[in-house]
């Protein structure tokens, strides 16, 4: 027997032997875990459903492709039809344009033939119109009276008829203190600018027909010369009315083969010296030579295309001239409208001028002071106006104009007389 003292002491603190039941549980085999699996019989319906959905989608896509192909075929056929239709229309239009072009050529030919027949008639009309004015007189003298100012006495003028003015001289010692003066036309104080222009209009037409025309405003200080030429903002003067008439008439006479163009020159003549009113500042002033037929004056032309453009040029001219007020009454203002006509078919080229002149005062030597400068200015004015009167008298009597009389005028005014046909 073993010594009880040598036996293991199983009663160790903190150690507890397993019970027999625990050994049984440990030795007992673990239970089997059941594994679930899908049999082929359950997978087959799912695959069939997916295939069915794919087949459905594929069928829809095929249907869309078929519709797209049908639409493409329809559009292709429509494009082909439109192409054939447009080609047919284009052929018809081309043939029609050819017919129109042929008719246009024929009409152009007829127009040229008509123009060839009309041109001599138009030239004859211009010549006859000019002859009519010549028979009536190349020189027309109109007398215009203005209304009285507040500081002026009673009127001494009477108007027996449209061509006569009767002046009461106040000479009671005479048997007939009233004297009659006859003119081509007399305008009373009530006559406006428009009525005055009616008698000037035929000369504007003559200028457009290719003849040189000059219009002069002559008279004493405060007689209304400048007003007649310039007018006012509400009643235009001869400057504006003449150009407007030229512009309107040119539009009526212009054709596809002929046209008019206009340019303007303007200068001031003071003591036989010329000042170009359209020249740019800083440039040398043009000069005028006296008594030499070969002398000439160069002026700066300003092209104008319409009445508004002419008004702007005229305004600039008057502003430039007005910078020296002391010269206004003793200087001449000459505004010339240059008229150019060109006909590309007949080759006709015409150049004429309409000169509008605001002359210096005709007061003579009645000056307020006897300064040498004033006397010199008035002597130059009297000299030029005297020569002007001699030339007018010669033209009126249809006598030859003496060369010495013309040479007494400044070169700038000589051209107005030598080249003119109407005054």
| Domains of the chain: total | 2
The CATH number of the domain holding residue 387 is 3.40.850.10
Same-domain check for residues 305 and 343: yes
The answer to the question of residue 85 being in a domain is no
Residue 364 belongs to a domain: yes
Whether 270 and 412 share a structural domain: yes
Of the residues 151, 166, 191, the one at which a domain ends: 191
Place of tokens 């203005």: 146
Q: Are residues 240 and 360 in the same domain?
A: yes
pLDDT of residue 53: 83
Pair type for strands 349-358 and 213-217: parallel
How many C-beta neighbours within 10 Å does residue 370 have?
A: 8
Per-block mean pLDDT, blocks of 10 residues, the chain (423 long): 49 52 56 52 68 85 91 90 89 91 88 77 80 78 89 85 87 72 92 93 91 89 89 92 95 81 90 82 48 62 94 92 70 91 83 90 57 64 72 65 49 50 50
Q: Are 181 and 391 in contact (CB under 8 A)?
A: no
User: Looking at the structure, do residues 297 and 315 belong to the same domain, yes or no?
Assistant: yes
- Taking the C-alpha atoms of residue 337 and residue 323, their distance in angstroms, rounded to an integer, is 23
Three-state secondary structure string covering the chain: CCCHHHCCCCCCCCCCCCCHHHHHHHHCCCCCCCCCCCCHHHHHHHHHHHHHHHHHHHHHHHHHHHHHHHHHHHHHHHHHHHHHHHHHHHHHHHHHHHHHHHHHHHHHHHHHHHHHHHHHHHHHHHHHHHHHHHHHCCCCCEEECCCCCCCCCCCCEEEEECCEEEEECCCCCCCCCEEEEECCEEECCCCCHHHHHHHHHHHHHHHHCCCCEEEEECCCCCCCHHHHHHECCCCECHHHHHHHHHHHHHHHHCECCEEEEEEEEEEEEECCEEEECCCCCCCCCCCCCCCCCCCCCCCCCEEECCHHHHHHHHHHHHHHHCCCHHHHHHCEEEEEEEEEEEECCCCCEEEEEEEEEECCCCCCCCCCCCCHHHHHHHHHHHHHHHHHHHHHHHHHCCCCCCHHHHHCCCHHHHHHHHCCCEC
Residues 286 and 402 in one domain: yes
* CA distances in angstroms from 228 to 143, 192, 357, listed in the order given: 11, 9, 11
30 occurs within a structural domain: no
Residue set of the binding site = 219-226
* CA 164/CA 195 separation, integer angstroms: 17
| 130 contacts: CB under 8 Å, gap ≥ 6 | 206, 209, 211, 421
Q: What distances in angstroms separate CA 69 from CA 58, 65, 72, one per listed residue?
A: 16, 6, 5
Task: Examine the domain organization and report whether 235 and 358 are in the same domain.
Answer: yes
Residue-level length of the chain: 423
What range does the domain containing 184 cover? 141-191
Tokens for 16?
């507890």
Considering Cα of 18, then 20, then 23, then 25, what sign does the dihedral take?
Answer: negative
Pairing of strands 302-304, 258-270: antiparallel
Q: Is residue 382 part of a domain?
A: yes
286: which 2 tokens? Answer: 């043009």
Binding site residues for ATP, as ranges? 219-226
- pLDDT of 8 reads 46
What is the structure's pLDDT at 44? Answer: 66
Let me know whether 159 and 207 are in one domain: no
Q: Could you give the CA distance from residue 331 to residue 412 in angstroms, rounded to a whole number? A: 13
CA pair distance 55, 50, nearest whole angstrom: 8
pLDDT for position 291: 40
Residue 11 lies in a domain: no
Query: For residue 5, is it within any domain?
Result: no
- Tell me, yes or no, whether 357 and 295 share the same domain: yes
**Same-domain check for residues 161 and 216:** no
Model pTM score: 0.67
Q: Cβ atoms within 10 A of the Cβ of 306, count?
A: 11
| Same-domain status, 210 and 171 | no
Structural domain contains residue 9? no
C-alpha 310/C-alpha 236 separation (Å) is 13
Q: Does residue 122 fall inside a structural domain? A: no
CB 253 within 8 A of CB 259: no
Q: Are residues 348 and 201 in the same domain?
A: yes
Of the candidates 191, 222, 256, which is a domain's last residue? 191
- The Cα 409–Cα 384 span in angstroms is 6
User: Is residue 199 domain-shared with residue 276, that is, in the same domain?
Assistant: yes
């Amino acid at each position: 027997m073993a010594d009880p003292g040598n036996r293991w002491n199983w009663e160790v603190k903190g150690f507890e032997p397993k019970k027999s039941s625990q050994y049984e549980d440990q030795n007992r085999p673990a239970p089997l875990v059941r594994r679930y699996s899908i049999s082929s019989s359950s997978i087959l319906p799912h695959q069939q459903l997916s295939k069915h959905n794919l087949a459905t989608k594929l069928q829809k896509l095929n249907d869309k492709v078929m519709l797209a192909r049908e639409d493409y075929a329809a559009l292709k056929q429509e494009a082909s039809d439109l192409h054939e239709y447009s080609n047919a229309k284009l052929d018809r239009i081309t043939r029609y344009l050819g017919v129109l072009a042929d008719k246009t050529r024929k009409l152009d030919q007829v127009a040229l033939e008509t123009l060839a027949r009309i041109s001599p008639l138009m030239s004859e009309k211009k010549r006859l119109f000019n002859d009519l004015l010549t028979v009536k007189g190349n020189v027309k003298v109109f007398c215009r009276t203005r209304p009285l100012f507040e500081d002026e006495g009673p009127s001494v003028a009477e108007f027996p008829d449209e061509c006569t003015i009767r002046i009461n001289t106040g000479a009671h010692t005479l048997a007939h203190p009233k004297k009659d003066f006859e003119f081509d036309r007399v305008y009373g104080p009530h006559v406006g600018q428009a009525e005055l222009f009616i008698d000037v209009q035929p000369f504007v037409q003559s200028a457009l027909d290719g003849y040189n025309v000059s219009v002069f405003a002559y008279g004493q200080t405060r007689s209304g010369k400048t007003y007649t030429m310039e007018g006012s903002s509400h009643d235009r003067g001869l400057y504006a009315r003449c150009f407007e008439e030229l512009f309107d008439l040119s539009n009526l006479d212009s054709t596809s083969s002929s046209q008019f163009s206009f340019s303007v020159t303007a200068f001031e003549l003071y003591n036989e010296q010329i000042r170009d009113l359209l020249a740019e500042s800083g440039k040398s002033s043009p000069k005028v030579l006296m008594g030499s037929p070969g002398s000439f004056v160069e002026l700066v032309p300003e092209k104008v295309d319409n009445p508004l453009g002419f008004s702007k040029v005229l305004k600039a001219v008057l502003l430039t001239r007005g910078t020296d007020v002391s010269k206004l009454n003793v200087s001449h203002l000459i505004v010339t409208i240059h008229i150019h006509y060109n006909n590309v078919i007949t080759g006709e080229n015409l150049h004429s001028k309409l000169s509008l002149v605001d002359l210096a005062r005709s007061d003579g030597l009645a000056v307020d002071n006897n300064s040498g400068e004033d006397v010199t200015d008035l002597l130059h004015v009297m000299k030029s106006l005297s020569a002007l009167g001699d030339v007018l008298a010669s033209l009126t009597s249809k006598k030859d104009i003496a060369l010495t009389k013309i040479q007494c005028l400044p070169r700038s005014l000589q051209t107005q007389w030598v080249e003119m046909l109407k005054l």
